[in-house]
């Protein structure tokens, strides 16, 4: 990780209690295990049913986003980034004083970086009414991709959390970028 | 027409489609591949449409669904929309828990897109 990413990561660690932190391959078994574990943990930690549901929902979307979009096929390692094996990602859930944070990190290709930035910037400029319309339009007109994704994940996360999608996209080499997403639920 | 019954799992809802016109989806719909799960449901509607009941009541009692399922649910509603008025009157009953504004809003999203009567039903627990 570069200095900026590392700073944000440490900053998040200090202010929050880490509930789970993972670096590795994201497959169906991992998703099932982590969702089941985190659901029990959330039952202990949070009384508000709606917050519990939102955290669970964002975890599902983030994990399945990683599951469907990790196309990285080679080891990535540079001066700033530690070794990231193929098909793997970072996933972290943390609890702050009045919020939960779900953070993901994965390697993307340079072409995807531009698409993701454009999607996220569009979403972050929208208020709740525009997001609702954007969601309905995309749901109505969109087709599922070959992977079974609907292109609705980021829109719905922004809509359900009511918060801006905090992200960083940092170039690693000519072919790859590192994409980290930090979703806040309060 | 045989009834369709599927047990629910941690990631897929329980399904009970009865040829007398009582259809129910209940639980969670968060599979990685939702297309695979929803295909037999749409196929069942194809068969049912040949000799439907006078009224088709569809109870949707979902706790969570992922965005991949949201598209499949829309396609399922479109299928029901296409048989509405052709020997059957389709009604959607959308259930949501009292404090679950997200699920209530999700029902409203479908209501905005689909021309079928939606009844929003608030319950303490699904």
**ipTM for the predicted complex:** 0.90
The residue ranking higher by pLDDT, A137 or A82, is A137
The residue ranking higher by pLDDT, A141 or A164, is A164
What is the distance between the alpha carbons of residues B106 and B41, in angstroms, rounded to a whole number?
20
CATH class of A3-185: alpha beta
Enumerate chain B positions whose Cβ falls within 8 A of a Cβ in A: 10-11, 30, 32-35, 63-64, 66-68, 70-72, 74, 97, 99-102, 105, 109, 112-113
Tell me phi and psi for residue A142, to 5 degrees: -75, 160
What is the distance between the alpha carbons of residues A22 and A183, in angstroms, rounded to a whole number?
16
Bridge partners, B122 (sequence order):
B96
Cβ-contact A8, A167 below 8 angstroms: no
Bridge partners, B22 (sequence order):
B18, B57
What is the distance between the alpha carbons of residues B13 and A39, in angstroms, rounded to a whole number?
18
Q: Label residue A148 by pLDDT band (50, 70, 90).
A: low
Helix (H) or strand (E) holding B48: helix B34-48
The reported pLDDT for the residue numbered A176 is 87
Helix (H, G, I), strand (E, B) or coil at A114: helix
Query: Which residues lie below 8 Å from residue A29, measured CB to CB, with a gap of 6+?
Result: none
**A110 pLDDT higher than 80:** yes
Domain boundaries in chain A? 3-185
The reported pLDDT for the residue numbered A10 is 52
DSSP string for residues in B3-26: -EEE---SSS-EEEEETTTEEEEE
Which of B68, B70, B100 lies nearest to residue A50, judging by beta carbons? B100
Going along chain B from its start, the domains and CATH numbers come out as 4-123 (3.30.750.24)
The reported pLDDT for the residue numbered A11 is 57
């Amino acid at each position: 990780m570069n200095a900026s990413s590392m700073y944000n990561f440490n900053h998040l660690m200090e202010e929050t209690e880490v509930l789970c932190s993972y670096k590795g391959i994201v497959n169906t078994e991992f998703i099932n295990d982590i969702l089941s574990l985190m659901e029990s943990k959330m039952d202990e930690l949070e009384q508000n049913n709606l917050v519990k549901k939102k955290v669970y929902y964002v975890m599902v979307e983030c994990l399945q986003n990683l599951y469907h979009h990790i196309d990285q096929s080679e080891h990535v390692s540079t001066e700033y980034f530690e070794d990231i094996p193929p098909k793997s990602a970072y996933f972290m859930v943390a609890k702050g004083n009045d919020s939960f944070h779900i953070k993901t990190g994965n390697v993307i290709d340079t072409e995807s970086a531009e698409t993701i930035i454009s999607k996220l910037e569009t979403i972050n400029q929208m208020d709740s009414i525009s997001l609702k319309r954007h969601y309905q339009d995309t749901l109505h007109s969109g087709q599922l991709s070959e992977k079974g994704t609907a292109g609705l994940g980021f829109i719905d996360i922004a809509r359900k959390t009511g918060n801006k999608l905090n992200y960083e996209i940092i170039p690693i080499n000519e072919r790859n970028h590192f994409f980290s997403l930090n979703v806040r639920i309060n | 027409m045989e009834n369709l019954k599927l047990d629910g799992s941690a990631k897929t809802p329980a399904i009970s489609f009865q040829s007398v016109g009582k259809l129910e989806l209940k639980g969670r719909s968060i599979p990685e591949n939702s297309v695979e799960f929803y295909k037999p449901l749409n196929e069942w509607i194809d068969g049912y449409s040949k000799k439907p009941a006078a009224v088709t009541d569809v109870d949707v009692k979902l706790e969570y669904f992922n965005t991949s399922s949201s598209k499949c649910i829309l396609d399922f509603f479109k299928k029901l929309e296409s048989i509405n008025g052709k020997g059957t009157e389709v009604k959607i009953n959308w259930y949501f828990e009292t404090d679950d504004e997200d699920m209530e809003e999700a029902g409203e999203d479908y209501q905005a897109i689909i021309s079928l009567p939606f009844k929003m039903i608030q319950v303490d627990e699904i």
